[in-house]
Chains A and B, each alone.
Chain A
Amino acid sequence: QVQLVHSGAEVKKPGASVKVSCKASGYTFTGYYIHWVRQAPGQGLEWMGRITPNNGDTNYAQKFQGRVTLTRDTSISTAYMELSRLRSDDTAVYFCARDGHGYNFDYWGQGTLVTVSS
């Protein structure tokens, strides 16, 4: 069965960077986009960007351009999201999600809580 498993929770100081991983299993990793979506406490979902695992091509939301970098390692079926210059309002749960070939998000990881605090 399709599974997306995140790395563990992180606590970072303002100005630092964080790198979250998402390990895929149960399907051909290179055959589907991976998206990253975040959710601040008590808030809605916010799309950050997506990566094409086959060739590394990326699209980012304008809001995160220059601060977020999506990468992947096809040898271990893992996608990564790195967010730099962290601020307190970056405190959120960060989800990876598979694109189900219909421009939707058909499988989601359990999410990684990133807390930014001095």
Chain B
Amino acid sequence: QSALTQPPSVSGSPGQSVTISCTGTSSDVGTYNRVSWYQQPPGTAPKLMIYEVSNRPSGVPDRFSGSKSGNTASLTISGLQAEDEADYYCSSYTISSTWVFGGGTKLTVL
């Protein structure tokens, strides 16, 4: 099972919006709405930000949103804040009853 494809890095200024893509295949992202997104500041454990493509857990700001089209899922962060600077990972359930992560995207807030 190959990792999902994410851009290595994205950046934006405070108040702007950024979108991180996550491209899989028909064996994972394209078949299931079981895509989730995680935020990981340096030296900490990942934190769930989006589940089932577009749902936010309690406590996650509505500046974070998710979507999916075909084999590609996306995470959009609007109204960027300095505290959003972190690594972001997508994950998907697969037809093999396993899970796969993306390679991760480093978000820099300029």
* A residues at B contact (CB < 8 Å): 35, 37, 44-47, 50, 59-62, 95, 97, 100, 102-106, 108-111
Contact = CB atoms under 8 A, between A and B. Distances in A.
Given A61-B98, A111-B45, A47 B91 contact: yes
Interface of B: 1, 3, 32, 34, 36, 38, 40, 45-48, 51-52, 55, 57, 89, 91, 93, 96-104
Nearest to B40: A45
Contacts of B32: 103
Contacts, number: 67
B45 A109 contact: yes
A102 B51 CA distance: 7
Given A109-B45, A110-B45, A102 B52 contact: yes
A111 B57 CA distance: 22
Query: Which among A37, A45, A47, A100 has the highest number of chain B CB atoms within 10 Å?
Result: A45
Query: Which among A37, A62, A103 has the highest number of chain B CB atoms within 10 Å?
Result: A103
- 6 interchain residue pairs of minimum CB distance: A104-B36, A103-B34, A108-B45, A44-B104, A104-B51, A103-B93
B51 A108 contact: no
B38 A45 contact: yes
B10 to A, nearest CB: 15
17 contacts: A37-B101, A44-B3, A44-B101, A44-B102, A44-B103, A45-B40, A47-B98, A59-B97, A97-B46, A100-B51, A100-B57, A102-B36, A103-B34, A103-B93, A104-B48, A105-B46, A108-B45
B98 A45 contact: no
